[in-house]
Amino acid sequence: MSTPSRVVVVGAGLAGLTAANRLADNGVEVTVLEARYRVGGRLHGIEVAPGRWVDAGAAYLGDRHTALVDLLADLGLKALPTDMEGDSRFLLGASDATRSGRFPPLNAVALGEMFELLDDLTRSVDVAAPWRTPDAPRLDHLTAAEWAESNLTHPDARLFFPLFLGEMMAADPAAVSMLHVAFYLRSGGGIRYLNAFEGGAQDRRVAGGAHQVCELLAAGLSGVHLGEAVTAIRDSGAGVTVATATATYDADAVIVALPPLLASTIDIRPRPTPRATGVTGRGCAVKLHLVYPEPLWRRHGLSGWSVNEAGPLLSTVDDSPHEGGAGVLTGFVTGAEAHRFATLSYDDQRAAAIHQAQLVFPDLPEPLAFHVTDWVNEEYSRGCYAALFGPGDWLALGPHLTRPHGRVHWAGTETSPAFFGLMEGAIRSGHRAADEVLHTTHPTGDRDE
Amino acid sequence: MSIPTTDRISTCLIANITASITATFRRVLEIDDVGTDDEFFALGGDSLLATRVLSAIAREYGVELTFDEFVLAATPAALGRLVARPVAGARP
């Protein structure tokens, strides 16, 4: 018996790189295999102007994201507050409103009733084992759309619910289970924390872009291989062999740090319990960046925050670099709208986004640049922010999500009960998987356990 | 004895409603230390939580306040007075 001396990590996203660093720090020889020709996974930066970066993927953090806060400090990265001065814009129903704060001009009592119901449900979830939640079988087989149909009576609540789920978890209510919604909201710290900018999960963003976290983590490792998609893993009982199109790697253990839908594409033998089902959905987010010479909306006393009933820009936020040099309006296309938008040509996407931005914000010229990041169809992510568990998924998949399969261990934000779907969840899962590997003794040179 | 009866009723009513709204503040803010003159947003409340207070008030008293009314009267005491007005007025 021995603790592993060689480990392969599949996926150079935040979870995989966190695990790899912890293993390397403990003297393990680590090889990280990454399908893309970049590290970072769902953390990705776009240089919108010379030396000015924006987050095309994960972007925000708050005080409760303690592992990420610590990691940023270790790496010497700074987090800066998400400024939101000025009025918000709302194009909801027939109304076109400009008002202070982020509260939409909808019936407050109706929205409050919806939040009270969601809060009750969220509190009922067993976050460590959602499938053991009282009422789990019913909630897991109920879609969020069905829940809304029978629980939300006021038209304003029915209008806002899909927008809220889109913002919170990039979900189409028709395709996600209500147990998953309740779990996700609970895992993220509750509806209030997850929704809030100041004092909440969107309190700060990483100066210069969150992608630097992964770049710096990778820079500290010697064995990161880009452009090598893992196709197969064989566990002989005495060790694992990890195969890509061009090479094979032998190791004592492997950590698969991929979203569940992507992990399912690897041919693993012996076969593990499925990591996804036919109804496991891709996080439905397309992120748009409209780049201007400066944040022009601020001249009109506007913050850049908007919520819109019609797509593609269901919400917008000012993501201009703190150092100046560019004005960046980030648009979120989420839920069912993301699927529709993703089918358009780039020219049609650009035209639709610019047209809507001009409806929402006054005197907005053509942007200097327009960037589309379609996470739904990213081959090596298959959705963002995170996998969306469909009806029945938590009962079927939940109990096996983190359980090691022989020498195969699992990481990724979807394997973290805390802050599932967020950068914080990815880091915590990486720590957990690395510790699991470090503290597991496998038999050596013998197939028998 | 100089206070007219209807005023005594409404004073009592306001005190009860204020106490109940204070309890609602405690529940949605998840803090124990809430006084009747404490301002909701100063206690850490935000617009999302404010709607939950408005929903609780509507459930208990049948009074639907708007978000803007809440912002201008964001203490249990001020909300109590606001809620008691139509409730008291509705009495014969």
Q: Enter the DSSP assignment of A231.
A: E
Residues 6+ apart with CB under 8 A from B69: B82
Alpha carbons A226 and A39: distance in angstroms, whole number: 8
The answer to whether the Cβ–Cβ distance between A102 and B56 falls below 8 Å is no
Name the token pair of A365. 């010229």
d(CA A202, CA A195): 8
Q: Angle at the Cα of A309 (from A305 to A311), degrees rounded to 5?
A: 85
pLDDT average, residue stretch B40-63: 96
Give, for A408, the enclosing helix (H) or strand (E). Answer: strand A408-411
Contact B10, B84 (CB under 8 A): yes
Number of neighbours of residue A440 by Cβ within 10 angstroms: 15
Which residues in chain A have Cβ-Cβ distances shorter than 8 Å to B66? Answer: 108
Write down the pLDDT at residue A448: 40
- How many contacts does A have with B, using Cβ atoms within 8 A? 53
Question: Which residues of B lie inside 8 Å of A (Cβ-Cβ)?
Answer: 44, 46-56, 58-59, 64-67, 70
Order of strands across the sheet that contains A224-225: A224-225, A29-33, A6-10, A253-257, A408-411
d(CA B83, CA B78): 9
State the amino acid at position A334 in one-letter form: T
Q: Which residues of A touch B (CB under 8 A)?
A: 101-103, 108-113, 115-116, 119, 191-192, 195-196, 199
**pLDDT per position as a tens digit, A233-280:** 999 999 999 999 999 999 999 999 999 999 999 999 999 999 999 999
| CB within 8 Å: A112 and B56 | yes
Q: How far is CA A93 from CA A158, A237, A310, B67, in A?
A: 12, 60, 9, 18
How many whole angstroms separate alpha carbon A246 and alpha carbon A251? 17
Which residue of chain A is at minimal alpha-carbon distance from B28? A116
- For A102-117, the pLDDT digits (tens) are 889 999 999 999 999 9
Mean pLDDT of B23-33: 96
Contact list, B51 vs chain A (CB under 8 Å):
103, 108-109, 111-112, 115
| ipTM of the complex in this document | 0.89
> For A132-188, what is each residue's pLDDT tens digit?
999 999 999 999 999 999 999 999 999 999 999 999 999 999 999 999 999 999 999
Instruction: Quote the CA–CA distance of A64 and A204 in Å, as a whole number.
Output: 12
DSSP string, A125-167: --TT-GGGSTTHHHHHHSBHHHHHHHH--SHHHHHHHHHHHHH
Residues of chain B found within 8 Å of residue A102, distances taken between Cβ atoms: 47
- Number of other CB atoms surrounding residue B64 within 10 Å: 15
